[in-house]
C-alpha cells in the first residue's frame, strides 16, 4: 500500500510523481495555437493529420498509426484489446502496472481475458519466467485461457529498463508461440533517452506490435496515445476506441499536444531532464549510504531507510510516497531542477544523520 506523506515547515519539494508535475510550456502554447477558429471533429482536423505524419516519421514506419487517448490505462487496455481475444491471457511481469494498478481494465476491454504475472529479476520479464509460463500452459485446451500477448512495461514500475536486446529476444520467443507483443510506454521517452536508442529500435524493430505512448507524465496536459504498426491492429482499434468512449470530438487539442511533444525532440529533452535529475539524486543518496532497492535507470527510485529517518524526511518538507515504514519512492520530472536535487540531498543528509 502506498500512502502519500505530507509536510509542513520548509518549502516542500515535489518527489511524489511525475503525474504531479505541470505541463510543458511548449505544449501549452501548442494547445493555445490550436484554438484558432473551427476544425472538423473526431480527428478529421489538420493537427491530427500532422500528428500521423509525425509519428510515422519519428518511428520510421510508413504504417504507424497513432490514436490519442486520455489516459495511460486506456492506452494499455485498448491497445491490448486489439490483440487479445476474450479467451486469451496477457503475460506480463508480476509487478506490471496493467496487472496491479489498472483495476482490471485490460480484462474488461478484452472481453474477459486474464492477466498472468510472470517472474523475473529487477522487475523485468525473464526468459526463464516466460519459459515457465509457456510450460505451464495447456495449449489448445479450452478449459484454460491461452497466452495471446506478451506485455512489457518499459521502463518498469520500479524504474529499471530492459535493453533493446532483452526486449527483442523475449518478443521473438513470444512471436514463435503465436503471441503478439505489447509495450506499456507510459514513460517510454525516459527509456529511449536512458538507452540512447532510436524510437524505432525500441519498438517495432525489437518486435513490438502495439504500444502505449505516454505523454502526460512527461509534459502533456491531457493526452497519451496508442501506436501500432500493423493495419489489422489499427482497423480493430478504429471501432474499439469509439465503443469505449475514446474518440474526443475536439481531438485537435490532444493531437496538437502530441505533435508539439514529438516535434524537434521535445519529448526526449523533457525526459533527459527528469533522468539527469534522478541520476544526480541517486548518486548523492548512495554517497549518504542510503540503500537503493534497484539502480534507477530513469526517473524513479526506491530506497530503504530507518522508520525514524523516513519521519524526518517527511518533516523536512520532502514530498514522496512511503511504502510501509521504511521504503520510500522518489520520482523526478521534467520540472525537477538540479538546484532542487541538491536541496533534497542536503535535507536527506540531515534526515539520515538524525
Ligand atoms: C507504468 C505505468 N503505466 C500506465 C500508467 C497509467 O496511466 P494513467 O494513470 O494515465 O491511466 C501509469 C500511471 O502511473 C504507469 O506508471
Name the CA dihedral angle for 201, 84, 78, 190, rounded to a multiple of 10 degrees. Answer: -30
What cell numbers appear for 329 in the block?
Answer: 519512492
Residue 19 Cα to ligand 1 midpoint, Å, equals 9
What pLDDT is stored for residue 123 in this prediction?
A: 95
Residue 321 Cα to ligand 1 midpoint, Å, equals 16
Yes or no: say if 96 and 151 are a contact pair by the CB < 8 Å rule: yes
Closest ligand 1 atom, residue 184 Cα: 3
Cα–Cα dist 247/258, whole Å:
15
Cα–Cα dist 155/159, whole Å:
6
Mutate to test the pocket of ligand 1, among 186, 224, 274, 300 (most ligand atoms within 8 A of CB): 186
Cα–Cα dist 223/232, whole Å:
24
What pLDDT is stored for residue 10 in this prediction?
A: 82
Model-wide pTM > 0.85: yes
Ligand 1 within 6 A of CB of 316: no
Mutate to test the pocket of ligand 1, among 16, 73, 151 (most ligand atoms within 8 A of CB): 73
Q: How many Å from the N-terminal Cα to the C-terminal Cα in the chain? A: 26
Ligand 1: which residue has its CA nearest to atom 8? 72
Residue 234 Cα to ligand 1 midpoint, Å, equals 22
What counts of helices (H) and strands (E) characterise the chain? 14, 14
> Is the alpha carbon torsion for 28, 30, 36, 40 positive or negative?
negative
Cα–Cα dist 278/155, whole Å:
14
Ligand 1 within 6 A of CB of 71: yes
> Which residues make Cβ contacts (< 8 Å) with residue 169, sequence separation at least 6?
127
Ligand 1 within 6 A of CB of 129: no
Closest ligand 1 atom, residue 19 Cα: 14
Closest ligand 1 atom, residue 216 Cα: 10
What pLDDT is stored for residue 239 in this prediction?
A: 97
DSSP state of 123: G
Per-residue pLDDT tens, the chain, 354 aa: give them.
344 555 445 899 999 999 999 999 999 999 999 999 999 999 999 999 999 999 999 999 999 999 999 999 999 999 999 999 999 999 999 999 999 999 999 999 999 999 999 999 999 999 999 999 999 999 999 999 999 999 999 999 999 999 999 999 999 999 999 999 999 999 999 999 999 999 999 999 999 999 999 999 999 999 999 999 999 999 999 999 999 999 999 999 999 999 999 999 999 999 999 999 999 999 999 999 999 999 899 999 999 999 999 999 999 999 999 998 999 999 999 999 999 999 999 999 999 999
Residue 240 Cα to ligand 1 midpoint, Å, equals 20
Cα–Cα dist 75/69, whole Å:
6
Backbone angles phi, psi at 34, to 5 degrees: -75, -10
What pLDDT is stored for residue 180 in this prediction?
A: 98
Ligand 1 within 6 A of CB of 160: no
Residue 94 Cα to ligand 1 midpoint, Å, equals 16
Residue 97 Cα to ligand 1 midpoint, Å, equals 7
Residue 47 Cα to ligand 1 midpoint, Å, equals 25
Cα–Cα dist 4/17, whole Å:
10
Residue 273 Cα to ligand 1 midpoint, Å, equals 20
C-alpha radius of gyration, the chain, whole number = 21
Ligand 1 within 6 A of CB of 186: yes
Residue 136 Cα to ligand 1 midpoint, Å, equals 29
Q: Which of 226, 256, 276, 247 is nearest to 77 (CA)?
A: 226
Ligand 1: which residue has its CA nearest to atom 3? 186
Ligand 1 within 6 A of CB of 157: yes
Amino acid at each position: 500500500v502506498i500512502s502519500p506523506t505530507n509536510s509542513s515547515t520548509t518549502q516542500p519539494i515535489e518527489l511524489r510523481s511525475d503525474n504531479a508535475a505541470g505541463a510543458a510550456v511548449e505544449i501549452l502554447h501548442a494547445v493555445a495555437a490550436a484554438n484558432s477558429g473551427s476544425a472538423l471533429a473526431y480527428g478529421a482536423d489538420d493537427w491530427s493529420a500532422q500528428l500521423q505524419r509525425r509519428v510515422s516519421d519519428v518511428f520510421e514506419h510508413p504504417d504507424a498509426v497513432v490514436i490519442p487517448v486520455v489516459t495511460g490505462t486506456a492506452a494499455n487496455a485498448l491497445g491490448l484489446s486489439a490483440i487479445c481475444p476474450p479467451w486469451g491471457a496477457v503475460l506480463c511481469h508480476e509487478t506490471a502496472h496493467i496487472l496491479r494498478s489498472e483495476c482490471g481494465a485490460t480484462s474488461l476491454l478484452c472481453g474477459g481475458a486474464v492477466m498472468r504475472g510472470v517472474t523475473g529479476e529487477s522487475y523485468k520479464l525473464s526468459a526463464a519466467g516466460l519459459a515457465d509460463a509457456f510450460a505451464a500452459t495447456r495449449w489448445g485446451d479450452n478449459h484454460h485461457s491461452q497466452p495471446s500477448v506478451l506485455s512489457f512495461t518499459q521502463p518498469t514500475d520500479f524504474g529499471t529498463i530492459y535493453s533493446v536486446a532483452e526486449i527483442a529476444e523475449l518478443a521473438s520467443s513470444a512471436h514463435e508461440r503465436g503471441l503478439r507483443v505489447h509495450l506499456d510506454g507510459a514513460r517510454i521517452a525516459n527509456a529511449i533517452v536512458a538507452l540512447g536508442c532510436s524510437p524505432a529500435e525500441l519498438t517495432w524493430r525489437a518486435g513490438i506490435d502495439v504500444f502505449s505512448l505516454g505523454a502526460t507524465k512527461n509534459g502533456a496536459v491531457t493526452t497519451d496515445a496508442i501506436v501500432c504498426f500493423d493495419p489489422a491492429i489499427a482497423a480493430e482499434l478504429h471501432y474499439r476506441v469509439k465503443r469505449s468512449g475514446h474518440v474526443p470530438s475536439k481531438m485537435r487539442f490532444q493531437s496538437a499536444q502530441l505533435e508539439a511533444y514529438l516535434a524537434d525532440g521535445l519529448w526526449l529533452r523533457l525526459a533527459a531532464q527528469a533522468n539527469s535529475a534522478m541520476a544526480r539524486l541517486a548518486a548523492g543518496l548512495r554517497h549518504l549510504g542510503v540503500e537503493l532497492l534497484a539502480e534507477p535507470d530513469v526517473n524513479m527510485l526506491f530506497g530503504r531507510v530507518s522508520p525514524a529517518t523516513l519521519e524526518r524526511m517527511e518533516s523536512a518538507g520532502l514530498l514522496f510516497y512511503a511504502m510501509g515504514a521504511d521504503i520510500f519512492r522518489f520520482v523526478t520530472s521534467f520540472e525537477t531542477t538540479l538546484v532542487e536535487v541538491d536541496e533534497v540531498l542536503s535535507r536527506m543528509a540531515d534526515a539520515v544523520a538524525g
